[in-house]
Structure 1
């Protein structure tokens, strides 16, 4: 099956071409079938590849060479795929969750006039994400990296007639380019020092450790490894929305809700996590970069979670939740717990896709309403959505024995082993997570209905094509954590054993069972307490104007306004100066002035060609006189 890996990205590409080329004439039903079937076919091939890799039967050491891509002297970059434990895991997540989102979209987007085009974009997004995780070198990864940036731009601004939505898509595109520049510089440094961008060649040279010599003759030093690692991390900051490049992600809610689920749960935002985990051999030799990743990840956890506490748009709550959960993944990467980070990537894909699709079900029932203050009591009308959304809330909160409990516990335990302060701050983030998620749940599904009578009349459970993905994701959110049971429960951490050939998990000084159980007990108690607090506060909270800290949180710590004041406005001011003075008066003025000078001269010269014979005779006589005068003047002074 590994030799057929090219089919995995090929099927979505074919779906994109069919729906993209014939979007005007393609029947909606057929477009949905083509788009969904393409991803389902990729999932089927991915499943076969996964089991082949798991059983150790992958051919050619996991490298599938498709064709020679770039050749400059001895420097070669093939277009090749790497099929190993890490890429096989991500293939299942991308295609599996992706198919459920496509299936869900067939109902959610049914009445949209751009239905066929939407599925074309969705297939294109999945195609580039698959390229990103399959690439056997950083160049192929970067093609996918840039491709998902393009596809996300198209999907976030899908409803392009709304200027606010198009601004959100441009913001996502620009902020990602900032991170991408860091990634590019990191790639250049890698080529300069190591002479390769191939994973196998690069990591083989890193195995020598600090002090070893690269094939380009440079000695591997901590300065070199930290510089490359930090540049790579800057790229990851953009894609995976870490401070300071996180503000595009909440604005990405402008796209249709299934797009939010795809971007936030299983694909684009995990690209930075994948890139760092893939490059773990580099980051293990870059302790300064690892500390930076852990600190920025932890800061992102707290900042985003605090903002989510006072958001009233149900999708904005989930958006800032995503930013916060990504912070946990980076915290794990920073302390060297790569498996823990990837474990949370997987469980987060389950419960966050569930929560976004659940919110989409609510928005669909509420005729597009997203403000939780205008909802309430929807549980009686939407029992399946309510029950599955509750499972998602329990999973993301780390309720005992749900998937998020195991993955988040592994991250917090690793953080405690590395630095207890990391653990306590991470626990604070977990407290806020439980509160804002159950605040959203109670506001939406319990109490009295606060919407209009017309909305109340139309509230209904979503169709099967929307509820079936919710049920499947709820089951995964419930049992997904069983692949990573801690040692206190089982001696076999299945995910760690599976990823061990690829990911060199850093030694985090294993905790004894008593301490591990204590940490679990503290986290579980906090979840229960914060669920109760959320219930009490939602019953009493008045929907008046926010004041003090509540207003600051509601306005997202004014980070967007600060960026606007410090960056956007000065750039706009400079742009106006360059446009009005340099370009219009300088460049355009100079060009136009030269043209006006030529025009002025030509109007004077044209008078010499008046067509009057007398004028010509007069000019000829004057000319002859001048010639004679010059001649006589010359003879006198010879």
Structure 2
């Protein structure tokens, strides 16, 4: 099957071309069938490939197709690498992607046919780019996919382009991602300058040719790229604004797949990052700060999608904590479980928004439990999973991350553990605040909204049910050894890409205690959320609450410190340099030429006598110059 790996990204690309070019002539049913069908076919091929990798039938896993660049000593092949890590991501991208495509077929059905086709074309192009990112066998092919998902994110955030606020959100995402991409690009140039290759196999086997300073700078630059794509401090503010796009887009791109690209890149480059303790410490600190900051902001958000957006930023922070503490498998594991429950939560929010006629403010909801039973129960499963209650998927991946911090010696990692545990408590509280406010208590919307409340159609609820099942059982591939012998299958599966650490850092008794403590604290926070929001009461406005509601005024700070000075500088350059400087010089040259032309034109009078006189005077001047002036 390895020789047919190229079909996996090619099929979504074909879907993009067919739907994109034929959007004015194809019917909605044909567009949805093509858009979803190519992703399903890619999923089937990905599943076959996964089974081959699991059975050890793929050899080195590198497939060469052609030379992408060959100029002098520069040789960059267009190769795919299919191994344990990429095969897991292939299943996540195509599996969750297919469910979201099916959901979109119903959710976006009210769009005009032409825009419906445009939407599915963009989604297919995104899946193609994401598959290219994870299948590339070198940093250049990864970067092509990396830029592709950034472009698709811009196109889908600004899908409703007639709304200027949405266009601004798309532009903001694009610019902030470009900042991170510059770091990635510089790291690739540095690697090529030092190693002479960008192939993973060549780079990772040539560590001895790199100094400690080289490795630190390269990994820090790669991390800058990851902070942009995976929304970490300071490049995280684009993600909450990205909720301007359609809800299925939020589920696919800004929860399940694209934002995990940074985690994939670091996990793929684990050999480099393990060799730089400085970078790992920086990653841990940034991940922890992001997890806590985003969780605190989510406590007082009232837009159902904004709560989930900040939850995504916070969970990405936990993945970076795992990467920073060397628990690369735990990070990948949390990517997988997070894809299931966060896609479920976003699609569940879309079902609620659909029933509420576009309303997104949870203060105007309430009492939806009886009207939307499937959405209610699936959303509850998603909330339990993200809170980390056993045996749901989030419990196992969250426990692996917390354990990775606790297992390290030293005060620093102990502080990381306790703060991360506090962040997990905040997660449980704000998610169940969202759940109780939305589905319990009295209905607080309009009578017209209440009259039209209904459960979503099957095309939307079936993906919810499938994702709910995955949110329950998805974590069972990483059951700790103390619960089941040989239960941690994901660690063994990824051992060919991410080396296993020998020995057991903490005793089983300690691990049981850590699990029990975190679960008890999470249940306590759920109880507090029920006591506060089980029967809805208007929240009192406090100074802290207002600060959290305004996102710690980070956007305002960025505007004041970065945006306004740059805008002012741009205005000054436009007025002081462009208009009164460069433009003035060009315009005055033009005016001077026009003036001289007008004056010289007067010489052409049409009178022969004047022409003869000018000739005689010119000859006399010529003779005077030749005989008396020229020496």
TM > 0.5 between the two?
yes
Hey, what's the Cα distance between the residues in 2 that align with 1:587 and 1:542?
Answer: 62
Could you tell me whether the CA contact under 8 Å between 1:546 and 1:554 is conserved in 2? no
- 2:88 match: 89
What SS does structure 2 have at the residue aligned with 1:423?
Answer: helix
- 1:217 match: none
Hey, what's the Cα distance between the residues in 1 that align with 2:109 and 2:224?
Answer: 39
Change (3 A) 1:507 1:603: farther
- 1:64 match: 63
- 1:298 match: 288
- The answer as to 2:512 corresponding to 1:517 is yes
Hey, what's the Cα distance between the residues in 1 that align with 2:62 and 2:98?
Answer: 26
- 1:592 match: 587
- Distance apart, 1:194 and its partner CA: 1.3
Could you tell me whether the CA contact under 8 Å between 1:337 and 1:505 is conserved in 2? no
What SS does structure 2 have at the residue aligned with 1:125?
Answer: helix
Hey, what's the Cα distance between the residues in 1 that align with 2:296 and 2:177?
Answer: 24
Change (3 A) 1:607 1:122: same
What SS does structure 2 have at the residue aligned with 1:438?
Answer: helix
Hey, what's the Cα distance between the residues in 2 that align with 1:251 and 1:369?
Answer: 17
Root-mean-square deviation (CA, aligned residues, Å) is 1.6
Could you tell me whether the CA contact under 8 Å between 1:304 and 1:324 is conserved in 2? yes
1:145-170 CA distances to partner (integer Å, 9 max, x unpaired)? 00000111101100000000011111
Change (3 A) 1:150 1:632: closer
- The answer as to 2:420 corresponding to 1:410 is no
Could you tell me whether the CA contact under 8 Å between 1:243 and 1:299 is conserved in 2? yes
- Distance apart, 1:508 and its partner CA: 8.4
Could you tell me whether the CA contact under 8 Å between 1:414 and 1:508 is conserved in 2? no
- 1:162 match: 163
- 2:526 match: 531
1:488-511 CA distances to partner (integer Å, 9 max, x unpaired)? 102211100110111124568621
2:303 paired residue among 309, 313, 320: 313
Hey, what's the Cα distance between the residues in 2 that align with 1:606 and 1:633?
Answer: 32
2:467 paired residue among 467, 473, 476: 473
What SS does structure 2 have at the residue aligned with 1:70?
Answer: strand
1:572-597 CA distances to partner (integer Å, 9 max, x unpaired)? 11111111221122111111111110
Hey, what's the Cα distance between the residues in 1 that align with 2:286 and 2:621?
Answer: 85
Q: In structure 2, list runs of 5 or more residues that go unmatched.
A: none
Where does 1:264-413 land on structure 2 (aligned, <5 Å)? Answer: 264-413=254-403
Hey, what's the Cα distance between the residues in 2 that align with 1:403 and 1:544?
Answer: 32
What SS does structure 2 have at the residue aligned with 1:201?
Answer: helix
- The answer as to 2:187 corresponding to 1:176 is no
Could you tell me whether the CA contact under 8 Å between 2:219 and 2:276 is conserved in 1? yes
Hey, what's the Cα distance between the residues in 2 that align with 1:630 and 1:483?
Answer: 100
- 2:490 match: 495
- 2:543 match: 548
Hey, what's the Cα distance between the residues in 2 that align with 1:231 and 1:368?
Answer: 41
- 1:47 match: 47
Hey, what's the Cα distance between the residues in 2 that align with 1:250 and 1:293?
Answer: 21
Hey, what's the Cα distance between the residues in 2 that align with 1:266 and 1:63?
Answer: 26
- Distance apart, 1:614 and its partner CA: 4.4
Change (3 A) 1:627 1:83: closer
Please give the TM-score of this superposition, normalised by the length of structure 1.
0.95
- 1:116 match: 117
More displaced, 299-308 or 398-407? Answer: 398-407
Hey, what's the Cα distance between the residues in 2 that align with 1:294 and 1:490?
Answer: 29
1:114-171 CA distances to partner (integer Å, 9 max, x unpaired)? 1110000000000000000000000100000000001111011000000000111111
- 1:209 match: none
Change (3 A) 1:508 1:536: farther
What SS does structure 1 have at the residue aligned with 2:206?
Answer: helix
Hey, what's the Cα distance between the residues in 2 that align with 1:406 and 1:616?
Answer: 100
- 2:572 match: 577
What SS does structure 2 have at the residue aligned with 1:378?
Answer: coil
How many residues align? The count is 624
Change (3 A) 1:507 1:180: farther
Hey, what's the Cα distance between the residues in 2 that align with 1:633 and 1:190?
Answer: 72
What SS does structure 1 have at the residue aligned with 2:369?
Answer: helix
Could you tell me whether the CA contact under 8 Å between 1:264 and 1:352 is conserved in 2? no
1:279-331 CA distances to partner (integer Å, 9 max, x unpaired)? 01111111100011011000000000000000000000000000000000000
Could you tell me whether the CA contact under 8 Å between 2:441 and 2:536 is conserved in 1? no
Hey, what's the Cα distance between the residues in 2 that align with 1:14 and 1:538?
Answer: 48
Could you tell me whether the CA contact under 8 Å between 1:336 and 1:505 is conserved in 2? no
- 1:77 match: 76
Hey, what's the Cα distance between the residues in 2 that align with 1:632 and 1:186?
Answer: 72
Hey, what's the Cα distance between the residues in 1 that align with 2:623 and 2:323?
Answer: 94
Could you tell me whether the CA contact under 8 Å between 1:280 and 1:504 is conserved in 2? no
Could you tell me whether the CA contact under 8 Å between 2:437 and 2:536 is conserved in 1? no
1:208-253 CA distances to partner (integer Å, 9 max, x unpaired)? xxxx3x3xxxxx3321211111111111000100000000111110
- The answer as to 2:557 corresponding to 1:562 is yes
- The answer as to 2:140 corresponding to 1:145 is no
More displaced, 446-455 or 584-593? Answer: 584-593
- 2:15 match: 15
Hey, what's the Cα distance between the residues in 1 that align with 2:46 and 2:619?
Answer: 94
What SS does structure 2 have at the residue aligned with 1:175?
Answer: helix
1:537-559 CA distances to partner (integer Å, 9 max, x unpaired)? 22576436733010000000000
Change (3 A) 1:264 1:630: closer
More displaced, 494-503 or 615-624? Answer: 615-624
Hey, what's the Cα distance between the residues in 2 that align with 1:150 and 1:348?
Answer: 23
